[in-house]
Structure 1
Amino acid sequence: MKNILYFLLLVITCNTQAQMDASILKDIETIEDKVIDWRRYFHANPELSNKEFKTAAKIADHLKSLGMEVQTGIAITGVVGVLKGDNPGKVVALRADIDALPVTERNDLPYKSTVTDTFLGTESGVMHACGHDTHIAILMGVAEVLSKHKDKINGTVKFIFQPAEEGPPPGEEGGAKLMIKEGVLENPKVDAIYGLHINSGTPVGTIKVKPEGIMAAVERFEVHVEGKGSHGSAPWAGVDPILISAKIIDGFQTIISRESNLIDAPAVITVGKITSGTRFNVIPESAELIGTVRTLDSNMREHIIKRMTEMASDIAEAYGGKATMKWRNQTVVTYNDPALTTKAVNTLKMVAGENNVEDMKAITGGEDFSYFQEKVPGVYFFLGGMTPGNTNPYPHHTPDFLIDDSGLTLGVKALSQLALDYLNKS
């Protein structure tokens, strides 16, 4: 009888431990409307990479109102809040990206973006077409909730609001790399870091994650092709850089289809922009190709970069022209620390429900959160933002991109509990 009572007591104790603190949970539920309002404010007032001045000001004002130590101007527009718990311990960082994209919104929302700006010399609409507005609002919510419960924190929480995740403008530094360079992971030194990304194709209430590589390394490349101009009626008098560009693009794809072992890991080469010519009857002197390479394996990455560089030059030479390449690394592989991920999954299942946390395969999107993970162990996961039952969600980075606000509260719960569990169970 005594053993049975002990067993029942143990079960009750374990079940109690497998729940969020009631007072924290109540504060999260109370703050839901405020989080949604913040999200809609940022959606209606987006700013491009390295230009997030108003966004940063609003974030900083909020963190200061919570009594935090606040640093601004990190990596141009980055904001960091430091929340010290009542008890000593480790330091955990939570990160949200804050920049928007040069995309003109097509949604008919009361908080639709009508902002415009100049991007690479062209006037464009500006839109939070990747969900960074939700990331900001979620982390602001976590900051407000945890600031009310410093007595439950063994250590320090560092809130990192990072600019230019989509990449700084050409010729500028920015993003996670510059934040790290300017000391964001020091004073106090960060021991672990967590981040999330909303996903328009994952149902609200669902979280997806995996250990090790979850997102790809990203390279940006430029190919400059030199030919020889001539009249369009006499192509034999010149060297056509547009034809050479077409052959180079075709050649690049054979690196993926014929030289890359896609059984080991996926890889992608995409040419996203071609610039050449002025008139229908003029063969121009030059052309420029701009694109991206995505890899999840370091050996494949090195091989693809080497072969593309060789191929562009060789193809151009074969047709009487010349091609040179420039490379810029955008991100490394977003790598989830296996041990930290195992613990994080337990926490995420507690807040979302056992059946609402799913394993996922790696994707070829990229994230500069990966640079933080190069320095300290980290976990990155995906949060559902699709209205359940939606069979045709719009992709990220498109004018119709849409997120269901009801998914934000789970994000607040997840990051709050991840921070508490890391600090209090370390």
Structure 2
Amino acid sequence: MKKTLLFILLITFAHGVAQNHMVADLKIQGNNKLKTSFIKSLASIKGGSILDSTIIEQDIKRLKRLPSVAHAYYQVFLSDDGAYNVFYGIEENFTLIPSLNIYTTDNDEFAYRVGLAEFNALGRNIAVGGFYQKDVFNSYALNFRAPYLFSKRFGLAFNLQSLTTLEPVFFNNTSANYRYNNKSVEISGLYEFNFSNKLEIGLNSFEEDYQYQSGETSENVPLELNIPKWLIKGIYDYNMLDYFYQYISGFRSQFNFQFVTSNQDGVDDFYIGWNDFFIFKRVGEKGNWANRVRLGLASNNDTPFAPFSVDNNINIRGVGNTIDRGTGVIVVNTEYRHTLFEKDWFVLQGNAFIDAGSWRNPGGELSDFSRSENMKLYPGIGLRFFHKKIYNAVFRIDYGYGISKNATQGLVFGIGQYF
């Protein structure tokens, strides 16, 4: 009886092994600048592993998220020895990309940012770039980001920045304009737990400098302020998005937390945290419904230098360049994108959107979110011009028209989708 049972178990086990088809080799085709060795280092399918369509499809989704990949697909063929050859097909993006952002409102405000970045340096998905910004004053930044520098899971990022803007400071129902400069050096470690979950932890040394320019003054608000600070940040990214050229589907949640401290007397420690939720859904063959919700809170200090701003290029299209500040934020951006024309590499897309948000006043209460004067509601329309084989080659034009209290309207230009 025992021998019979053992024989049955052996037969069952052998049958199970026979059903597990093996991979003879993984082959990469279609890539040019992107290194074959780099693609294979990211792939979970290897020669000698079990053929699993779920793992292959996950590999393809991972590849389509790379800036250097416009599209990816796979094929499976039976080899002479009874195993299977897996082919990953790559359609590459052009990755040396100029950038341009222009912001205007009906108040004749004008600002722009121009930059250049390579998103596939050395054929290993390393991003190197920088920008110059003119927003009354001059600013610049240099960036380096290599998410797979050391392994499939561990990478590094480095940023150097000097950002100078004319910032409104609000106090006692009035305001003043300050020249704000932030010089910073930041280094971050990047770790990928698995396909969907990533963590970034960074250390930033920076100096904030405020210089009074014009407007009202108060003995409680300094005309000059210079503070060296340290910042520790963490970003947790849960990403289940799937890409098909200009279309996106799925869910993503990105949580940011920062803790700021200073050795200078009289400067309180400060925290800020926010979470962006993204939901994308395909609508028919040519439609895409896109949504972003941002929820954020910071240390509720009664200060004119509150961290969350109301701004054209960040959250509310048409509202103006940094028209208000708060210590808490709730923003909802929703838009319907529809492909109007598509031929070869070119896509013309139209969109209709609603941007809405509210802020907590510095030192205020959570009830501030429900105050009409803190609410912004801006519907609008826009156009998108795509090049399907150049990374992030989306030129956008949006016009937002405010229908909330003290509303404005204006055009917002830029490279890349708004979110």
For normalisation by structure 2, the TM-score amounts to 0.21
Select the structure that is richer in helix: 1
Give 1 or 2 for the bigger CA radius of gyration: 2
Structure number with greater CO (CA < 8 Å, separation at least 6) is 1
State TM-score, norm by structure 1.
0.20
